[in-house]
Chain A
């Protein structure tokens, strides 16, 4: 809600500092700020009763004295001949009207009123409509006016017995279904859909001279139903469906009439009304025990002066030694339980007056799974940052057109209502965010860029959505894309992955196999698994991605599942006090023979005291390749002799020769 600061000041007896007023409003739950002389007030969604100035002023009346703005009924220059008939009393238990003659609807609306309407996004229409809309914004009671010359002598609140089509005051065709509430005159013309919108039949225009102004109570849930049926929401229906205060009905009518009278001379009838108390909402009461309030707030209930808190309020209460009983106004739908009342009390009493009391120690044990997961994650972050990788965080939703290149389209999860086409699907892979971030930085930042992200990815599998936590890394070849590819970057990345798994999960042997990845180069990529279970991928980005993103460097990427269940416990092993002895051998073999094949084969030979088989280097020789391997021997019981080691080494060599048709040099 927006109100001119000068306007709001007029409602109070004494001079008001607007900044202090704004602070007070904010403190009681109506966040406000001043912007170029206009107070902007945020009304909480549960306080419809404050979507009008009276409501706000009422809240502030705890702090400031109000001017006496009583609306007196000063008219009755002629008798109101119009009769009210309420056939649907449950729907409309209270209905009142006033008749105004000889009105000039062409006079200019005063600026103050026009400004207030504009501020609250209500378009100016004509004098009468503007006054009524303005009155609604001030009092919270919607008013409606009919052109008296167009309607009969009776106003009947009724229900239709068939489907009827009408034109509304804004010239739209509306189908009113059978058994819907209507207001019609004695000629059976529908003059309005009560509480929602008027019909064009009785519409006020610039030439209107005589009007009937209606102020009524319509049942909130029935107005809500009408809104839904008709698919219309208006200023009036918004107020009615959130319950108005029946006590305000006549007062607000007086307010509007006084306002009209202030600006022009016209004849005004008495107000006639029909009220069926039996059908009005019953009074509600909420009892709050004093010891409950004390327990809830740790305040002494006897020290709280409710008289001052509820002064000028619509909330009456009775007090006894042990409790208070509160009578709740109809339009305070936010007050339904005792905690709501406590909230009302404390907000004026002041939360800052409540002391602090320590909670007890809950001695909550840290779950082992949580600790392991979290500590591993922290170690990964530390390890990667110390190796020059920056941690990034990107959005969980990405561009579908790109994600389709990375994962099968069937696996992607669409957002029904994305915020943009660049973010219309949940990410199936961390790659897209990493590439885009890389690109942004490579334009600004000339140094080597290495990035990683830890986050969830989402996969559709048999109609279910599977969420998994992954880590992904990206780094670029140092040289331009037009230079020759240097595969060493692949092995740098591979080493990082192996270190993470070796140190954190105590899994020393990851398996690297060929992969069918859609987004990695077929010759420079691998699927990573542990005991035949896939945990990730590593490789050079496929050319199509490099083209799509117009990348200037070759990019290497690795992605891995976190939260492994098969990490191993670490135990200390007895160390040998005897020296390690190394033998380096070079194997010349076909290019399709991999280091892993040779290593695994050597293991099958079960050579005693062979502790380690490590890779030294590889290079091409004509159509074959040379792989240099270091064999490390160590015994727990003695120093191994040259003779022993040589014999084992030669055995290994002979075996490899036969197995792989290889040649050797030592």
Chain B
């Protein structure tokens, strides 16, 4: 049979496939020749135009060429997947620069501390920044003459409303609503009218407390010690010493052995070998009573820590104001 169109198709195919440079082009060729509307299918439809005696032979020819095209395409696809031999690259060049910014170090520290207490069975309470005098002072056994209540030390919004000076207000909110046993933490922003290299008018605190039967100073010591070991990621020596807070009795301050000099005295620990990290104590019986909790049956432990302070010690930040200046060069370090 003269002038097999199919042979022309094959020749065109061979030329096309040879010139393909990549898999995408191979795919285009595949669709062109083997697709539903491809040249092979179209040619099959044209068999009707051929005289009947030649149709069988033509049909066989089309199939042969179709199979050939399929095989050639497969071959080409296979080759396109092989790695080409390229020039050697400089593997020491840095990765392409897409900035991975930072979570604020305070936010990171809070997350870390929260994780510890959650895992230790503490509930996390909501936080309330705007408070009244009762929850911020009175219920916490802070008498009317206490200097912290003055307008020199506390921010007031009205005569009665103020910005809370500590997270201990949440202790009162919780103890008034829930019955013991209670094991909880609360954290967030607190506000004091103070501003210098080691104090800012706003900072972050975390408060934790347990109220139950037979809670003792020994339990408090355990909780604090385990937390500090976790946070500083080493066995930490602690020193517990007497202090005074109106809402705890006894009250204690906790120092850790200086992590820079290990107690040998340096500038970080102001030549003492110890760094103060948090305050704690047994919840004052009056505070329990104010929350209608029978202090003859229940006792409680409480502790409060400054997030900025802990971050500054752990990460060797020497000025608290850096934490609120938000200089990217500073933030980027963490």
Chain A interfacial positions (CB closer than 8 Å to B)? 23, 26-29, 31, 33, 44-47, 295-298, 337, 339-340, 342-343, 346-347, 351-352, 354-364, 366-367, 370, 374, 378, 381-382, 384-397, 413-419, 423, 426, 437, 440-441, 444-445, 447-451, 454-456, 458, 465, 467
CB–CB A441/B241 < 8 A: no
Set A346, A381, A445: member contacting B103, Cβ < 8 A: A381
Whether A392 contacts B241 in the complex (CB less than 8 A), given A337-B285, A465-B130, comes out as: no
Q: Which 8 A-B pairs have the closest CB atoms?
A: A343-B250, A347-B242, A44-B244, A29-B242, A351-B240, A388-B99, A356-B222, A298-B218
CB–CB B121/A364 < 8 A: yes
Whether A465 contacts B181 in the complex (CB less than 8 A), given A337-B285, A361-B121, A393-B106, comes out as: no
Set B118, B151, B216, B225: member contacting A296, Cβ < 8 A: B216
Among A339, A352, A450, residue most surrounded by chain B Cβ atoms (within 10 Å): A339
For A359, the chain B residues whose CB sits under 8 A away are: 121, 183, 210, 215, 219, 222-223
Interface residue? B116 (CB, 8 A): no
B115–chain A nearest beta-carbon distance, Å: 10
Whether A444 contacts B252 in the complex (CB less than 8 A), given A297-B216, A396-B189, A417-B156, comes out as: no
CB–CB A367/B270 < 8 A: no
Alpha-carbon distance A47/B242, docked complex (angstroms): 13
Alpha-carbon distance A374/B126, docked complex (angstroms): 11
Whether A390 contacts B101 in the complex (CB less than 8 A), given A419-B195, A441-B326, comes out as: yes
Alpha-carbon distance A382/B100, docked complex (angstroms): 10
Alpha-carbon distance A393/B326, docked complex (angstroms): 7
For B106, the chain A residues whose CB sits under 8 A away are: 393
- Report the nearest A residue to B202, measured CB to CB: A395
Whether A357 contacts B216 in the complex (CB less than 8 A), given A343-B242, A391-B104, comes out as: yes
CB–CB A339/B284 < 8 A: yes
For B221, the chain A residues whose CB sits under 8 A away are: 351, 354-357
Alpha-carbon distance A370/B221, docked complex (angstroms): 28
CB–CB B282/A339 < 8 A: yes
Q: Other CB < 8 Å A-B pairs besides A362-B210, A396-B202, A417-B156, 15 of them?
A: A29-B243, A355-B221, A366-B123, A367-B123, A381-B103, A388-B101, A390-B331, A394-B326, A414-B157, A415-B155, A419-B193, A440-B326, A450-B99, A458-B130, A467-B128
- Report the nearest A residue to B301, measured CB to CB: A359
Whether A449 contacts B328 in the complex (CB less than 8 A), given A27-B241, A391-B107, comes out as: yes
For B332, the chain A residues whose CB sits under 8 A away are: 390
Which residues of chain B in 167-222 are interfacial with respect to chain A, using CB atoms and an 8 Å cutoff? 181, 183-184, 189, 191, 193, 195, 200-202, 210, 212, 214-219, 221-222
For A361, the chain B residues whose CB sits under 8 A away are: 121
For B253, the chain A residues whose CB sits under 8 A away are: 31
CB–CB A358/B222 < 8 A: yes
27 residue pairs bridging A and B, Cβ less than 8 Å apart? A29-B244, A31-B253, A44-B244, A296-B216, A343-B242, A343-B250, A351-B241, A354-B221, A355-B221, A359-B210, A361-B121, A362-B121, A362-B183, A364-B183, A366-B124, A381-B103, A388-B99, A390-B332, A393-B104, A396-B189, A397-B201, A415-B163, A417-B193, A445-B328, A456-B129, A467-B129, A467-B130
Whether A393 contacts B323 in the complex (CB less than 8 A), given A366-B118, A417-B193, A444-B329, comes out as: yes
Whether A296 contacts B161 in the complex (CB less than 8 A), given A45-B146, A385-B101, comes out as: no
Alpha-carbon distance A472/B139, docked complex (angstroms): 36
For B152, the chain A residues whose CB sits under 8 A away are: 417
A598–chain B nearest beta-carbon distance, Å: 32
For A444, the chain B residues whose CB sits under 8 A away are: 327-329
Which residues of chain B in 122-168 are interfacial with respect to chain A, using CB atoms and an 8 Å cutoff? 122-124, 128-130, 146-147, 151-152, 155-158, 161, 163
Alpha-carbon distance A384/B104, docked complex (angstroms): 12
Interface residue? B234 (CB, 8 A): no
CB–CB A347/B222 < 8 A: no
A355–chain B nearest beta-carbon distance, Å: 6
Alpha-carbon distance A12/B183, docked complex (angstroms): 47
CB–CB B242/A351 < 8 A: yes
- Report the nearest B residue to A386, measured CB to CB: B100
Interface residue? B43 (CB, 8 A): no
A45–chain B nearest beta-carbon distance, Å: 7
Alpha-carbon distance A347/B299, docked complex (angstroms): 19
Interface residue? B232 (CB, 8 A): no
Alpha-carbon distance A295/B298, docked complex (angstroms): 12
For B90, the chain A residues whose CB sits under 8 A away are: none
Which residues of chain B in 287-334 are interfacial with respect to chain A, using CB atoms and an 8 Å cutoff? 299, 323-329, 331-332
Whether A356 contacts B225 in the complex (CB less than 8 A), given A385-B103, A393-B324, A395-B324, comes out as: yes
B251–chain A nearest beta-carbon distance, Å: 7
For B103, the chain A residues whose CB sits under 8 A away are: 381-382, 385, 391
Interface residue? B111 (CB, 8 A): yes
Interface residue? B102 (CB, 8 A): yes
For B156, the chain A residues whose CB sits under 8 A away are: 415-417
CB–CB A343/B251 < 8 A: yes
CB–CB A440/B327 < 8 A: yes
Interface residue? B77 (CB, 8 A): no
B308–chain A nearest beta-carbon distance, Å: 10
CB–CB A357/B222 < 8 A: yes
CB–CB B241/A26 < 8 A: yes
For A27, the chain B residues whose CB sits under 8 A away are: 239, 241-242
Interface residue? B249 (CB, 8 A): yes
Alpha-carbon distance A11/B200, docked complex (angstroms): 40
B303–chain A nearest beta-carbon distance, Å: 12
Set A390, A396, A441, A454: member contacting B191, Cβ < 8 A: A396
Alpha-carbon distance A359/B210, docked complex (angstroms): 9
- Report the nearest A residue to B251, measured CB to CB: A343
For A355, the chain B residues whose CB sits under 8 A away are: 218, 221
For B118, the chain A residues whose CB sits under 8 A away are: 366
- Report the nearest A residue to B331, measured CB to CB: A390
Alpha-carbon distance A347/B281, docked complex (angstroms): 12
CB–CB A396/B219 < 8 A: no
CB–CB A340/B218 < 8 A: no
CB–CB B157/A426 < 8 A: yes
